[in-house]
């Protein structure tokens, strides 16, 4: 229901209105056409349905009645809220052209207002006709001025032949058609009770009117469902677009992180290779990363050979022996010295055998430099190459074991 802010007297013939800082409008509304920004017309769905059921239920007849509701005003706009309808019923039962409102009709209207809509006021009237000519509009203008004076009284005209419905407001001596209005929905018990009462009194017309009413409500409901579907479709489209953007952003971030990981992996591999090169430890380098090295024919930097390693081992052993000699007795020293000597002799013999049989290629070594080192001449290079199955004497691998015949 519309919440009344405060009551006051309108300047138009004592017309009651609701005014205040703001206008409270219903939540469930549907705008039809372009609504005027200064003067707006709101009609409740039951009232709207009842008028159209009268108009299209028997379009060959003219129908008229009074619109009931309230007016609300603010500093910027004026609103008419229509929530009730009283049909004007002349003695003959039919509204004739030229006889719409008289004293008897008004008596019946006010009696039904007190019975069904005691809290509402007259805010306008409606007319449903199939013959809406320019002359007829002039007649409606005179009826409006005589019975519904004031710029906050409206006329709702249903042209059944053209199937057009329009609201009019009186302004500058003329009825001006409004470009749009608003239909709102609420539990209008008063209007429902009135409609049930009218159908009971006019049971002959009830089937047709009920049929038209259901048809109109079905159309309105279908429009609302279509509007809701469009709204949901737009929402789903927005959500889908947002998800696509999120996926794209995540994909770009994943690609960037993948590239960063690749660069980091390459950097680690390069560092590992540098460490392996400096330390001579080939275990740090994977098998796939071991490359064939072009060995220069000219002797380059020669790394320590196995013979030199054996010498270093011998020196260390001798140093250990001297330290042990100082800590033991003379007898123990003699035994330790003999055991150390035997150990050194055994290691020298094994090293000699290894030296005499194989050699591990170091960085910068060539087949000629190896032969020159072990044989004192390069003439043995071809023999060594044949013994090791080398087709190219200039291609050796770092760490390669060369058999020395």
Question: How does residue 27 score in pLDDT terms, banded at 50, 70 and 90?
Answer: confident
Cβ-proximal residues to 62 (8 Å cutoff; 6+ apart), any chain: 94, 95, 96, 97, 127, 128, 129, 130, 131
Cα–Cα distances (Å) from 174 to 147, 223, 246, 331, in that order, read 15, 34, 59, 143
The pTM for the full model equals 0.47
Which of 203, 202, 194 shows the shortest CA–CA distance to 66?
Answer: 194
The tokens 């001596």 sit on which residue? 173
| Residue 96 CB burial class (10 angstroms; 0-12, 13-18, ≥19) | exposed
What is the number of other CB atoms lying within 10 angstroms of the CB of residue 198? 20
What is the C-alpha to C-alpha distance for residues 294 and 280, in angstroms, rounded to an integer? 17
Question: How does residue 332 score in pLDDT terms, banded at 50, 70 and 90?
Answer: low
Q: Which two tokens stand for residue 346?
A: 């055994």
| Cβ–Cβ under 8 Å, residues 51 and 86 | no
Partners of 181 in beta bridges? 32
| Cβ–Cβ under 8 Å, residues 190 and 197 | no
What is the number of other CB atoms lying within 10 angstroms of the CB of residue 137? 16
DSSP percent split of the chain into helix, strand, coil, nearest 5? 50, 20, 30
Q: What is the mean pLDDT of the chain?
A: 76
What is the C-alpha to C-alpha distance for residues 390 and 401, in angstroms, rounded to an integer? 12
Question: How does residue 201 score in pLDDT terms, banded at 50, 70 and 90?
Answer: low
Please report the pLDDT score of residue 157 as a whole number. 94
Which strand (E) or helix (H) includes residue 176? strand 174-177
The answer, yes or no, to whether residue 340 has pLDDT greater than 80, is no
The answer, yes or no, to whether residue 45 has pLDDT greater than 70, is yes
What is the C-alpha to C-alpha distance for residues 378 and 383, in angstroms, rounded to an integer? 10
Quote the percentage of the chain above a pLDDT of 90.
24
| Cβ–Cβ under 8 Å, residues 41 and 154 | yes
């Amino acid at each position: 229901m519309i919440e009344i802010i405060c009551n006051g007297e309108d300047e138009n013939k004592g017309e009651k209105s609701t005014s205040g800082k703001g206008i409270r409008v219903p939540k469930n509304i549907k705008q039809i056409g372009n609504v005027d920004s200064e003067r707006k017309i709101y009609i409740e769905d039951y009232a709207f349905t009842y008028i159209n059921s009268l108009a299209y239920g028997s379009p060959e007849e003219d129908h008229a009645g009074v619109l009931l509701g309230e007016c609300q005003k603010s500093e910027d706009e004026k609103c008419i809220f229509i929530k009730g309808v009283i049909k004007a019923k002349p003695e003959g039962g039919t509204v004739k052209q030229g006889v719409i409102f008289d004293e008897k009709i008004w008596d019946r209207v006010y009696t039904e207002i007190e019975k069904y809509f005691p809290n509402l006021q007259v805010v306008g009237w409606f007319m449903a006709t199939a013959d809406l000519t320019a002359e007829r509009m002039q007649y409606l203008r005179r009826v409006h001025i005589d019975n519904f004076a004031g710029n906050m009284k409206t006329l709702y005209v249903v042209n059944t032949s053209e199937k057009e419905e329009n609201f009019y407001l009186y302004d500058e001596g003329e009825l001006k058609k409004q470009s749009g209005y608003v239909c709102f929905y609420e539990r209008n018990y008063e209007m429902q009770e009135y409609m049930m009462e009218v159908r009971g009194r006019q049971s002959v017309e009830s089937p047709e009117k009920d049929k038209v009413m259901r048809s109109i409500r079905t159309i309105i409901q279908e429009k609302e469902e279509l509007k809701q579907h469009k709204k949901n479709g737009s929402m789903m489209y927005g959500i889908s677009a947002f998800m696509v953007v999120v996926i794209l952003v995540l994909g770009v971030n994943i690609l960037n992180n993948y590239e960063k990981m690749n660069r980091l992996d390459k950097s680690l591999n390069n560092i590992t290779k540098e460490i392996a090169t400096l330390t001579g430890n080939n275990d740090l380098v994977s098998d796939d990363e071991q490359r064939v090295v072009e060995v220069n024919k000219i002797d380059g930097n020669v790394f320590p050979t196995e013979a030199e390693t054996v010498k270093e081992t011998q020196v260390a052993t001798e140093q250990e022996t001297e330290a042990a000699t100082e800590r033991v007795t003379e007898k123990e020293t003699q035994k330790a010295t003999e055991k150390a000597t035997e150990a050194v002799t055994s290691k020298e013999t094994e090293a000699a055998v290894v030296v005499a049989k194989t050699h591990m290629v170091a960085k910068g070594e060539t087949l000629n430099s190896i032969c020159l080192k072990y044989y004192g001449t390069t003439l043995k290079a071809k023999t060594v190459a044949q013994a090791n199955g080398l087709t190219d004497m200039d291609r050796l691998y770092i760490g390669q074991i060369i058999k020395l015949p």
